[in-house]
Structure 1
């Protein structure tokens, strides 16, 4: 679910979606992400940004790759992550030309993350905001994240947290004083 405040105009959103699709098309033709000249984009899209690109085909997940911290201009991030979602997501085989026309592309641009303070799991669960929070879980050298859109399939905070633990390679009932959870919001469009 997107944040209530929109950081990007409709034109900027369209430019990012078009860029993601162009990078996937470039990957089909050349086997690498589309090279991007940040200077040819709106100044807001040249700012460093963290983002995920999610691909669906026939309403089923087909790839999702992103970053949690801004490391490069947002337009470069989108080009790289769109290519990676199509061709490097280890859960799926590389995208084929035949799949491209039916591909649905969405983008989630992450806001800054904030660590949550909690003393036990019930305390943590009370702080979660279903449909709003994306979570980053870190424990015992493992890390996982769920975007806020995952709340649509896991609307109960306890289920959301248990599946996030599983995604990070931990048992769903895992608990430790070393468990760290941060939350973030996204602006999602596609």
Structure 2
């Protein structure tokens, strides 16, 4: 159970940890440029699962995350931030020169909720656009979309089709052994805090 710390403050802290972790991995001196945070805070030692998403000029630059809490929130954010910057095999590693132009988003996942259904239509009807992150599993095939993906795939049928394609399955594939789980996220973006500062 995470502490009652203000949600915005929690987001600022997680984003600061993510940025500092990437800077450390790139051996960049961030003194005076990244806010100090108390990494010994109790809530950061509690289990947590996160996704760290990097964008550059509003285009995806890296995204790595965990679907279940298997380590402390602090360690999970640190590892996923560095992995998103340097080890997302869809992109070349973020460079020192790019560091300042990268925007970071942190998503904190809820516990997974398995869905029960009898067919694809039934599965699709249970999805909540704009709310649910979804995991699809069939044998060795597995994929997930964060709730943010609904912004570009607002229809449940197309969302599910693209989730199957991401898992390496055909768009029209269906099997009774397909498993779906959903989750929600709390998310924070550096750009939101910059806008608050600029408008304040």
Say whether the fold is shared (TM-score over 0.5). yes
Bigger Rg, which one:
2
Q: Encode CA deviations 1:125-156: one digit per residue, 9 max, x unaligned.
A: 11110000000000021110000000001000
Is contact 2:11–2:187 with CA below 8 Å preserved after alignment?
Answer: no
Question: For residues 90-169 of structure 1, what are the structure 2 equivalents within 5 Å?
Answer: 90-169=89-168
Q: Encode CA deviations 1:71-108: one digit per residue, 9 max, x unaligned.
A: 11101100000000000001000001111111110011
Aligned to 2:21: 23
The runs of at least 4 aligned residues of structure 1 exceeding 6 Å deviation read none
Question: For residues 23-42 of structure 1, what are the structure 2 equivalents within 5 Å?
Answer: 23-29=21-27, 40-42=39-41
Distance 1:8 1:149, change over 3 A: farther
Name stretches of at least 5 consecutive residues in structure 1 with no aligned partner. 1-5, 31-38
Is contact 2:113–2:181 with CA below 8 Å preserved after alignment?
Answer: yes
Aligned length: 177
Instruction: Provide the TM-score with structure 2 as the length reference.
Output: 0.85
Query: How far did 1:8 drift?
Result: 5.1
1:10 corresponds to 2:8: yes
Secondary structure of the residue that 1:106 maps to in structure 2? strand
Is contact 1:12–1:45 with CA below 8 Å preserved after alignment?
Answer: no
Secondary structure of the residue that 2:17 maps to in structure 1? helix
Aligned to 1:189: 188
Q: Matched residues in 2 for 1:8 and 1:141: separation?
A: 40
Task: Give RMSD over aligned pairs.
Answer: 1.5
Is contact 1:52–1:66 with CA below 8 Å preserved after alignment?
Answer: yes
Q: Matched residues in 2 for 1:183 and 1:168: separation?
A: 16
Query: How far did 1:40 drift?
Result: 3.5
